Amino acid sequence: MHNGKKIKTLSKAGRHLHMAKNRAWKKNKIVKQKNHQYYADILKNILFTKLIDDKQPGQQIVHMLKKTKMHYERGNRFYYYIDENVSLWSDKPVIHNLPLDYTLIAHASLKEIKRVACGKKISKEMRITNENILSAVEEYLLRCVKYLKNLGTLDAAERVSRIITEKSRNMEDALQRILIWNQFLHQSGHTLMGLGRLDKILDRYCEGLSNKETEDILTDFCICLHRHYIFKSQALLGDTGQLIVLGGLEEDGSYFCNNITGALLDIISRLNLPDPKLLLRVSASMPRKLAAKACSCIVKGNGSPLLSNDDLIIPLMQEFGYEKEDTYGYCTSACWEPLIPGKTMDQNNLDNVIFAGPMADFLNVLEQSKYQNFESLLNDYCKEIEKQAKRCAESASAIKWKEDPLLTMFYPDCLMYGRDISEGGARYNNYGLLSVGLSNTADALLNIKKAVYEEKKFTLQELKDVMKQEEIFKKLSSVSPHFGDDSDIAVQVSQRLFDAAKAGIADVRNSFGGRFKIGLSSPGYVDCGKKIPETPDGRRAGEPLGVHISSMHGQAYTELVSFAASLDYSRGGFNGNVVDIMAAPSFIENNFEKFVDFLQFGIKRGFFQMQMNVVSSSILLEAQKHPEKFTGLIVRVWGFSAYFNDLPEEYKNLLIRRALQNEGKV
């Protein structure tokens, strides 16, 4: 999950080092013994790319395709190999973290793609670039066919060969094409690229396939996607962005799902791999059978699927300005941020608004005389949040993106107007911010309201001193109401803070004239928490901030969902709002049908999104002590699934604490 602002400020040399360090760190976690070789490979890669003339757009991609080595292991249905040593770097941030629209790729031949991307109506410069890239793709495919024939794997060779001139005959053809382009994206530095609505895209190939055949083909596809797990991971192992979006509401009010929807839920339940990850677009009109299948997958504990509520999200996207017909095709970027494949270049994780950020400065200048009542204090705090959000948006607006002929080819608006996606050629060019610490800030302010203004236990000036007293500080965490309670006041204070952030970004426009959106989910709860001094919600300096919209005080799931459903996500507040739930496996298993009820009623009640960690505290504690016994244990972190053993200790500790809280053990 890259932070665009961070990337922007890195120098060219720094970027090499950053990449090398990042990848070496990840690799180091898994294969320490290969560390030196890995550094050597990275250096080789840097030398390789530095020698290439970058003046002609797409030349690096052409060169990358020429140099990419082939590798195929016998017995595989699909050809899929990323040459990790031949991947591109850039001195500017690369557009990433969005799903490519694989529709054309899945169905059409390369010849057809050429016809679309290099037609007479395309500007001369763009046509030449596209021809160069697609010719290099053709050469690569021919090389691949030859390689596979030499190995005697004729089926795979023919399937790759057909890509060049024939449209897809069946599901295997379509998936092979998706895998080839998925490889190109990863190698060309496009990280965290989702797979999009594969059940919808592949729908036409369901006919004539038995359930068993469908499941076998998709299983092989999923196993392929799990390869190169370390290479694909970004800030944390598992942060690969390989998200498949399933199901969804149609414009006519019906709900779309098919054999592939169910099959992928079954496959991910069975394979128990962190990759690929699933997101299920849910709606009140979805069949109960599918909701039950989703629960069966969730209870396996692999973190999939994240549930995304179409009944709420689609109208919010329309209100923001996306065309009605586009919104029904929405996907999310790597985790939770809704956008439209093939039409948006929306870069959604550009910075974090940290709600608890102004707290320390604010506490220093608190004067009772200035704040005669809680309302005036809350007003001033909201103004600080508004300013912070505006600063984040203005800073992100200035990002210059690396020109991107590869992605541009698959954006019809870019082709039509001859404008690269990096220059705002897509139909929508909005940016998104994340936010973190709303729960801590709302709780802190609710505590001040109660202790200073209602019970008058101490004055504002005394608050800082009071926080130094251990006993009183501890008690602050148990004062109610809290963020997550569905009481009017908890909702109101949380909403005021959220609205302040929305107000801060409302008038900012990026360099393409695009607008900003924000959401109440972020991967920053651990890292941002490290920088934040203690807060008067009972959180110590440096401790993690609250995770998305989650229960920190044992609220019932229904209460948390009602709280989340009471928040107003309009006016750009829809950039991912995940209710994050911890649950013990036995709790769901013993009450399965009622849990399905809970999901269905929760959708109607109006949660925005929901994800679950289904694991008991005892398992997590045991896994922390004896990682060797739990190599396959998967958990949900940020907005993706990952192996528990691969997580830094602070993330493990946080998950354990939350599981204990959920089970009422702390």
Partner 1 sequence: MIEETSDSYLIGNIQRFCLQDGPGIRTTVFLKGCGIRCPWCANPENLDNKIVHYQTGSKPGAYGKYYTIDQLREVLLHDIPFYSSGGGITWSGGEALLTLPKLGRLVLDLKEYGINQGAETSVFVSDEQLEFAAENLDWFIVDIKILQPEGCLKFLKGDIKQYIRNVEKLADKKKILCFRIPLVEPYTYNDENLTLIIGFLKKYQQIPVEIFKVHRLAEKKYNILGRRMDSYTELSDERLEQFYERLKKNNIDVEIIQM
Binding residues for partner 1, rule: CB under 8 A, are 471, 474-475, 486, 556-559, 562, 587, 590-591, 594-595, 597-598, 601-602, 604-605
Q: How far is the CB of 470 from partner 1 (least distance, A)?
A: 10
Helix (H, G, I), strand (E, B) or coil at 97: coil
Nearer to partner 1, 399 or 584 (CB): 584
Q: How far is the CB of 477 from partner 1 (least distance, A)?
A: 11
Helix (H, G, I), strand (E, B) or coil at 37: helix
Ordered strands of the 277-282 beta sheet: 243-246, 277-282, 306-309, 609-614, 578-583, 549-550
Nearer to partner 1, 432 or 602 (CB): 602
Helix (H, G, I), strand (E, B) or coil at 368: coil
Q: How far is the CB of 400 from partner 1 (least distance, A)?
A: 47
Nearer to partner 1, 314 or 565 (CB): 565
**Strand partners for 612:** 581
**Of 233, 13, 190, residue with least CA distance to 93:** 190
Q: How far is the CB of 544 from partner 1 (least distance, A)?
A: 23
Nearer to partner 1, 375 or 597 (CB): 597
The answer to whether 362 and 497 are in contact (CB under 8 A) is no
Nearer to partner 1, 155 or 589 (CB): 589
Nearer to partner 1, 396 or 476 (CB): 476
Q: How far is the CB of 171 from partner 1 (least distance, A)?
A: 37
Nearer to partner 1, 417 or 587 (CB): 587
Helix (H, G, I), strand (E, B) or coil at 362: helix
CA distances from residue 341 to 66, 344, 623, 636 in whole angstroms, order as listed: 28, 6, 39, 25
Q: How far is the CB of 535 from partner 1 (least distance, A)?
A: 21
Structure tokens at 335: 């985790």
**Of 164, 2, 179, 18, residue with least CA distance to 97:** 2
Tell me which DSSP letter residue 331 carries. E
- Return the beta strands (E) in 364-477 as ranges: 431-436
Instruction: Name, in order, each residue with C-beta under 8 angstroms of 235's C-beta and a sequence gap of 6 or more.
Output: 1, 2, 22, 523
Q: How far is the CB of 463 from partner 1 (least distance, A)?
A: 21
Q: How far is the CB of 606 from partner 1 (least distance, A)?
A: 9
Nearer to partner 1, 20 or 596 (CB): 596
Nearer to partner 1, 25 or 601 (CB): 601
Q: How far is the CB of 213 from partner 1 (least distance, A)?
A: 36
**Of 328, 331, 209, 332, residue with least CA distance to 259:** 209
Nearer to partner 1, 461 or 591 (CB): 591
Nearer to partner 1, 526 or 564 (CB): 564
Structure tokens at 542: 């440096």
The residue type at 223: I
Nearer to partner 1, 71 or 475 (CB): 475
CA pseudo-torsion sign 447, 448, 449, 454: positive
The answer to whether 19 and 89 are in contact (CB under 8 A) is yes
Structure tokens at 369: 């005389």
Measured CA to CA, the distance from residue 169 to residue 107 in angstroms comes to 8
Q: How far is the CB of 601 from partner 1 (least distance, A)?
A: 5
Q: How far is the CB of 489 from partner 1 (least distance, A)?
A: 13
Phi, psi for 108 (deg, rounded to 5): -95, 165
**Of 412, 440, 447, 439, residue with least CA distance to 426:** 412
Q: How far is the CB of 288 from partner 1 (least distance, A)?
A: 10
Report DSSP letters for 59-79, one per residue: HHHHHHHHHPPP---TT-SS-
The answer to whether 8 and 347 are in contact (CB under 8 A) is no
The answer to whether 45 and 85 are in contact (CB under 8 A) is yes
Reply yes or no: is the peptide bond before residue 99 cis, omega within 30 of 0: no
Helix (H, G, I), strand (E, B) or coil at 613: strand
Nearer to partner 1, 44 or 474 (CB): 474
The residue type at 291: A
Q: How far is the CB of 586 from partner 1 (least distance, A)?
A: 8
